[in-house]
Amino acid sequence: MLTADMAAIPSYALAAALPAPADPRAPTLLPASPAGEGASSVAEISNVLFIGGTLIFLAVAAMVVVALFGPITWRRRLSGPSLIVGAGIAFPVVALTALLVYVLSEASAMARAGATAAVRIEVTGELWWWRVRYLDASGKPVFETANDIRIPAGEWVEFVLKSDNVIHSFWIPELGGKLDMIPGHVNRLRVRALDAGRYTGQCAEYCGAQHANMKFDVQAMAPDAFQAWLNAQAQPAAPAGPTLRQGERVFQQACAQCHTVRGTSAAGTLGPDLTHVGSRLSLAAGVLPNNVGALAGWIAGSQHIKPGNPMPSFDQLPGEDLRAVAHYLESLK
């Protein structure tokens, strides 16, 4: 049933807000399909623990079967104190200690990997999206984007992880392990994508109502293509042409208090930087595909699409203004 609020939203905007059909080629969260060195180490640790646990389970199950149905002489041996001490105390201590040492040594090696990173990216967990800043050699931001991370394939990348609100957890399953983002503390994670490709990241620590809708896109690119993307992202937005000026005007009136578009007077910092929003792979932290219809749907009905997020629904905008601002944002590439 349509509510009074929904009835005020243009029908095409509501249609854009509906979930898109599942794409069989879309990236999935598959930690068992490692595409980075960190993820390969995590997969190896998982396999060792799984195999070790399976062998121990089978050994215990075999002893249970013998104790219930085996020859009387075997059952007497199982009841002896030496087996109880050996299997009940000594074996668990030795096995668990060996597995603990193995896991800690692998985790330490992962933490030391890639000491010299080719790219440093600061990622801050927001409610509920990701603020992404690319840093220069001195640690100063070069430009800012949101929910869209590009990295060079085959090179080490260091993520500087922060949060100004609650605890989040940064996780790209196919590239590396997860690491918490703790308010007042900076954590660092290094990953290296072995090949070019697109991957999906996800917040792995419950952080509020829209935790499940806090994804981000990661695209590993050939180094030359990555450098070209860096250069393009560092540029201000292109001036709006005659057909886009109405949308730019509406944006300046309704959106500039919270959003930045470099090269214009819009300099808000509460929401994502939208300087090149048209080039991003998705919208609203992975909730919507990035196209004109989805942009209009998000502007008009963000609280229906992602309830509780900090952006209000601009369902009072006339349809003409809504279409104009959506086309303007789509042009920012």
Q: What number is the average pLDDT over the span 245-271? A: 94
Lowest-pLDDT choice from 38-47, 277-286, 318-327: 38-47
Q: Residue 168 forms beta bridges with which residues? A: 181
Q: What class is the 4-24+236-330 domain?
A: mainly beta
DSSP assignment of 208-235, as one string? Answer: STTGGG-EEEEEEE-HHHHHHHHHHHHS
Residues in contact with 161: Cβ distance below 8 Å, sequence separation at least 6, in sequence order: 123, 124, 125, 170, 179, 180, 181, 186, 187, 188, 189
In percent, how much of the chain has pLDDT > 70? Answer: 88
Give dist(CA 301, CA 313) in Å, integer.
5
The model's pLDDT over 5-32, given as tens digits with 9 standing for 90+, comes to: 444 445 444 444 444 444 433 445 555 5
Contact in structure between 148 and 216 (CB atoms under 8 Å): yes
Give dist(CA 60, CA 83) in Å, integer.
12
**CA dist 189 → 74, 117, 264 (Å):** 53, 10, 34
What confidence score (pLDDT) does residue 297 get? 93
Q: What number is the average pLDDT over the span 46-51? A: 86
Q: What is the mean pLDDT of the chain?
A: 86
CA dihedral sign of residues 156, 157, 160, 165: negative
Structure tokens at 77: 């041996």
| Residue extents of the structural domains in the chain | 4-24+236-330, 38-112, 119-234
In percent, how much of the chain has pLDDT > 90? Answer: 58
pTM above 0.75, yes or no: yes
Pairwise pLDDT comparison (89 vs 140), residue with the higher score: 140
Give dist(CA 221, CA 238) in Å, integer.
24
CATH of domain 119-234: 2.60.40.420
The model's pLDDT over 151-198, given as tens digits with 9 standing for 90+, comes to: 999 999 999 999 999 999 999 998 988 899 999 999 999 899 988 999
Closest CA to 250 of 162, 320, 152: 320
Contact in structure between 275 and 261 (CB atoms under 8 Å): yes
Give dist(CA 25, CA 40) in Å, integer.
22
What confidence score (pLDDT) does residue 4 get? 41
What confidence score (pLDDT) does residue 42 get? 80
CATH topology of 4-24+236-330 equal to that of 119-234? Answer: yes
Q: Residue 161 forms beta bridges with which residues? A: 123, 187
Structure tokens at 84: 């109880």
